[in-house]
Copies of this chain bind each other. A is one copy, B any other.
Amino acid sequence: MRAKPLPAETRRAVTVEAVIELAAERDPGEITTAAIASHMKLTQGALFRHFPSKDAIWEAVMEWVAERLLARVDRAAAQAASPVAALQAVFHTHVDFVTEHPGVPRMLFGELQRAEATPAKRLARTLLERYGERIRRLLEAGKAAGEVSAALDIEAAATLFVGTLQGLIMQSMLAGDLLRIRRDAPRVFAIYLAGIRSAT
Q: Which residues of A contact B (CB under 8 A)?
A: 25-30, 106, 109-110, 112-115, 125, 128-129, 149, 152-153, 155-157, 159-168, 170-171, 173-174, 184, 187-188, 190-200
Contacts and interface: CB of A to CB of B under 8 A. Distances in A.
A56 to B, nearest CB: 19
Given A190-B153, A192-B195, A198-B198, A167 B174 contact: no
Copies of this chain in the oligomer = 2
Given A159-B171, A162-B167, A199 B190 contact: yes
Given A159-B184, A163-B163, A163-B167, 16 more contacts: A106-B113, A112-B174, A113-B173, A125-B174, A128-B174, A156-B187, A157-B191, A159-B188, A161-B167, A162-B167, A164-B167, A166-B167, A191-B196, A194-B198, A195-B195, A195-B196
A159 B168 contact: yes
A112 B106 CA distance: 10
A163 B166 CA distance: 6
A90 to B, nearest CB: 15
Contact of A110 (B113, B167, B184, B199): B113
Contact of A194 (B29, B155, B159, B195): B195
B113 A27 contact: yes
A153 B187 CA distance: 7
Nearest to A26: B115
A98 to B, nearest CB: 13
Nearest to A191: B195
Contact of A129 (B30, B112, B174, B195): B174
A29 B193 CA distance: 36
